[in-house]
Amino acid sequence: MTTRQRSTSSTSTGPPAWGEVVLGVDTHGEDHVAAVVCPLGQILGTKSFPATAVGYRRLLAWARKSGVVRRAGVEGTGTFGAGLSRCLLAQQVVVFEVNRPDRSARRLLGKSDPLDAQAAARAVLSGRARARAKTGDGPVQSARMFKLAKDSAVKARTQAINQLKAVLVVADPALRERLSSLGNRELFRTCAGLSPREGGAGGGDEDTVAEATLMTLNLLAQRIEQLTGQIDELNQRLTGLVERHAPQLLAPVGIGPDSAVTLLITMGDNPERLSSEASFAALCGVSPIEYSSDGRSSRRLNHGGDRQANAALHRIVFTRLRHDPRTQAYYECRTQEGKTRREIIRCLKRYAAREVFNLVRTVSTDPRYRGVRDT
């Protein structure tokens, strides 16, 4: 309770600075704690605001009393800070994603919401926070929502299919023999048409188990068909978004709608926030990491970055290894140079990331579709 009271108070440790100031925000589900810092690092004030549309406007108005706000460091721009980030971006404030302070700093300085807000502002001021926030206001954000629903439906359908087949394993032998020879599509259709009345009408325990088995198969099959319909609809919507807003991504060999959507989501609606194709490669976890010592020069695998984007690039490379003559020729050439298969695949993923970045980087004149379609 004491911590909550301390985080909601307003403090000021210096006079107003009418030049440029930097805003830092520690975001939470119900309220955000803001701090304003001058270019020299002096704290000009801290205050808590509710995480609402009105609270966002009040927060920015309060910060502007100390000076001109052109930059802001916000924790969790993709979660609790998403709404605030969109509000700040709409007011021409450049928003930077700020990671949590490292543990060594927290051990030295302590942990509180005002301290986290001040650390966010100083991270921007020092240049440590350089990743600009996604705008989240265009077709890529729509694709992100659709993909979230699709991934959930795919996971639920896989679980339902596994459960249905597990029920068949312990079902009555006559029923199991009747259904075991069917393919998946016909199996689901047949199970969706089963009726518990087929289990028998004797009223004994065996009949009760048979009825329960039939009802379970029927419900699981109906669930599978319903989820399949949702997945098909979401796939159509995702494909339509890519075809309308980034058709250039579908032209190269190996890039399908699913991989294109994944990479677009990683870049965001404002790919201009990425300074170079190298920064996009690092974001996807395909940039090599120097690992040299004592005269030995080598690079190791990058285990960081967006793993879904990394997986999309992996699928693109393997598709090209099967169907693209240029990629096959490159593979043979690097093999003769003594490179291992893993090393060659890492190089190909890096090249694929560069190609995708250059295709998507073009910025649209429509502010709602920045960077996702040609001008």
Site of tokens 């979230």:
148
With contact defined as beta carbons under 8 Å apart, do 12 and 44 qualify? Answer: yes
Instruction: Please give the sequence-ordered ranges of beta strands (E in DSSP) within 205-355, or none if there are none.
Output: 289-290, 299-300
**What are the backbone dihedrals phi and psi of residue 303, each rounded to the nearest 5 degrees, phi first?**
-90, 0
Rounded to the nearest 10°, the torsion over CA 294, 296, 301, 305 is 50
Q: What is the pLDDT of residue 200?
A: 52
Q: What is the pLDDT of residue 17?
A: 44
Q: What confidence tens digit (pLDDT) does each residue in 265-295 have?
A: 999 988 888 888 999 999 999 988 777 676 6
Domains and CATH numbers, the chain: 2-126 (3.30.420.140), 139-244 (no CATH), 248-369 (no CATH)
Q: Walk along the chain (375 residues) in steps of 10 and give the mean pLDDT of each run.
A: 41 56 94 94 93 95 94 92 93 90 65 89 90 88 96 97 93 87 91 74 64 92 96 96 93 94 93 88 87 71 87 96 95 93 92 94 46 38
Q: What is the pLDDT of residue 140?
A: 93
DSSP code at position 112: -
Site of tokens 């520690």:
26
Cβ within 8 Å of residue 23, ≥6 positions away: 34, 35, 36, 60, 63, 69, 71, 72, 73, 88, 93, 121
